[in-house]
Structure 1
Amino acid sequence: MAEGPMLEWFYPTRAGRMMAGASMSAILAVFGVILDGGFSWMGVWWLWILILPWPFIFLASAGSEKVYAGVDWLALDDDAYVKTYDLATVKVHLDGAAHAIEMVDNEGRSLRPKIIRLQRNHRLWDLVYNGILHSVHVGG
């Protein structure tokens, strides 16, 4: 793994993923009430198929979103890491609806996480961002 102690990490909990899915279901239900102008849509059975499964979809689709950071490194899912204070290239890409940041350090290791994935823990993002700033300032 990476060098040095781990200072910050983020891994979404099961409860957090279920709450995100429940929020999605609630938003869809409110949208149905607004669109229909009332609650008569609730008698249509197939609309419930569109509303109810979201907590379970969010729970199943979260996969492995582990993110770890130390003073000068960033690791994803326990297997890949980069030295953030020793980056050779930093590029931002549009990855679907989100932005991803591609980082390659001077030893050839690379990561391409979505930025929102890193920003879920503000202290972790501070560590990563400071390393990127240092690498850009020192390395050009």
Structure 2
Amino acid sequence: MTDAAGSDDAMIDALPPRPDRETGVPFPPPGLSYFRGEEAAPEQDDRREGQLADRPDPPPGLGPALAWHRESRRGKIALILTSALILIVGAIVISLFHQGGIGILAAWPIWAIVAVGVFLISSPFSYFTYAAGADWLMVERSRWGVKSRAWVDIYELTRIDAAYGGTTFHLWLYDKDMGITRSSEELQRDRRIWDLVYNGILHSVAGGAQVSPQAIGILQLNKTPALKIRDSDDTGR
């Protein structure tokens, strides 16, 4: 007969192990709630910086970045052009719906709206870097050459929340010192970042992190052992 302690140990063993801080071995398995399809290898994606020399420095005292995504200048230009095209096509469609035509593009207010929209969507003077190590997630913004950073310990999270917004969901992660709020689209620009973060979320939930019902559903935590481990620990107290 297996005692209660043995049962708890078996459930804990069912969670993917934490990767080594320095080597990243063993790397976590694919995380659930991943919405992107197949992606090109970093060194083959010309819309992002993918060389080893582009790897960001880790937060003070922490292990190296194991995965990162930093938009390249070419990627930023592509985003600007794509945003402009979407807004222009949208303006034409709305005009046609109201019995107008492409002549709407001759009106200068339309171009002012497009310019403002492109600026808000693409943030042309801001570059974001998303990076994850074995036990941390960091978001770095470079604006006009001035950098700011925020990071959390993904294995010591105290509160986790998530909510849908448009075609993606937004994630709130807090440890004892600070918090990060980003969309899943941002955190899933590199599959490896998401796998590292998701593994940390599982361990934090199992360790007793506060997690909202919305986050449980969106992150599919009920398909993992994390909630059972947390509930088992609560029952045993």
**Which residue of the partner structure matches residue 60 of structure 1?**
124
- Runs of at least 5 residues in structure 1 that lack an aligned partner in the other structure: none
**Any residues of structure 2 matched to 1:34-53 within 5 Å, and which?**
34-37=93-96, 38-52=101-115
**Which residue of the partner structure matches residue 27 of structure 1?**
86
AA partner of residue 101 (structure 1)? W
**Which residue of the partner structure matches residue 13 of structure 1?**
72
AA partner of residue 42 (structure 1)? L
Q: Which deviations, in whole Å up to 9, do the C-alpha atoms of 1:47-81 show, x marking residues without a partner? A: 222224555552435x3522221112222327443
User: Does 1 or 2 have the higher relative contact order (CA < 8 Å, sep 6+)?
Assistant: 1
AA partner of residue 124 (structure 2)? A
Counterpart-to-counterpart distance in 2, 1:51 and 1:81: 34
Matched, 1:85 2:151: no
Matched, 1:103 2:174: yes
Q: 1:124 aligns with which of 185, 188, 193?
A: 193
Counterpart-to-counterpart distance in 1, 2:112 and 2:78: 18
Counterpart-to-counterpart distance in 2, 1:86 and 1:44: 54
Which 10-residue stretch deviates more, 1-10 or 128-137? 1-10
Change (3 A) 1:82 1:28: closer
**Contact 1:21/1:54, CA 8 A, preserved across alignment:** no
Q: Which has the larger radius of gyration?
A: 2
Counterpart-to-counterpart distance in 1, 2:85 and 2:117: 10
Whichever structure has more helix as a proportion of its residues is 1
Change (3 A) 1:50 1:101: same
Counterpart-to-counterpart distance in 2, 1:109 and 1:67: 19
Counterpart-to-counterpart distance in 1, 2:187 and 2:119: 24
**Contact 1:2/1:75, CA 8 A, preserved across alignment:** no
Q: Which deviations, in whole Å up to 9, do the C-alpha atoms of 1:72-115 show, x marking residues without a partner? A: 2222327443322233x1221559876231221xxx33222313
Counterpart-to-counterpart distance in 1, 2:135 and 2:170: 22
TM-score by length of 2: 0.48
Q: Structure 1 vs Structure 2: percent identity of aligned residues?
A: 31
AA partner of residue 155 (structure 2)? Y
Q: How many residues end up aligned between the 2 structures?
A: 135
Change (3 A) 1:120 1:52: same
Q: 1:112 aligns with which of 163, 169, 180?
A: 180
